[in-house]
Amino acid sequence: MMAENRPQPPADRRPPEESSRILTQRARRLARKPPATVDAGDCLALLVFTLGQERYAMEFRHIAEVVAVRGLTPVPCTPPHVRGIVNLRGRIIAVVDLKGFFGLAGGDSLGHRRLLILRSEAMEFALLVDTVVGVTEIARRTIQPPPPTLTEIRADYLRGVAEGQVAILDGARLLAAPWLIVDETVVAP
């Protein structure tokens, strides 16, 4: 009978010390504990946006939609942070400029700015933001508390700070904020 001519694997030409080192590295990598899985209830789905030069985020559950700024109508006798109203498919929605309310620098141009429509059972309004950066999901345990040096009005509505210096706004507190309700009577001279 004829001997089979099977190709033989190439001989390992590494020195035994190097082979031992490579095998040890592989064993250590395989022996590492897998990263802890994050429970879905432990995550926050966030929309990241900018106000001036700063990055902010808010939980999706408070944001009904994101729309381009069109047809903004100023309303006389309102506080400076109320930029006006928009007609969004038949609904009249107040537009709040957080950049102005927080005292952040920036122009008044509406340009390519966006409106985040916030909605709860009791309230609906739009936040005027500069740009929408994107979406992300983070673990709640990674949120750092707001810096203790933050004493401005922003501290009241800041939930914490995420990686990358993204300030997470508290959407529920914004939707319940008393300063959003304009209840002024204008008396004619």
Q: Domain holding 68: CATH number?
A: 2.40.50.180
- Residue 118, in any domain of the structure: yes
- Residue 84, in any domain of the structure: yes
- Residue 1, in any domain of the structure: no
- Residue 33, in any domain of the structure: no
Residue 140 CB contacts under 8 Å (≥ 6 apart), including other chains:
42, 43, 44
pTM for the full predicted model: 0.70
Terminus-to-terminus CA distance in the chain, angstroms? 119
Contact 56, 49 (CB under 8 A): yes
Sheet of strand 82-88, all strands in order from the earlier edge strand to the far edge: 63-68, 114-119, 124-129, 91-97, 82-88
pLDDT at 146: 80
Residue by residue, pLDDT tens for the chain (189 residues) are 555 666 655 566 778 888 888 888 888 888 876 665 556 568 889 999 998 888 999 999 999 999 998 889 998 888 888 889 999 999 999 999 888 777 777 666 677 789 999 999 888 999 999 999 999 999 999 999 887 776 666 677 888 899 888 999 999 988 888 776 666 565 666
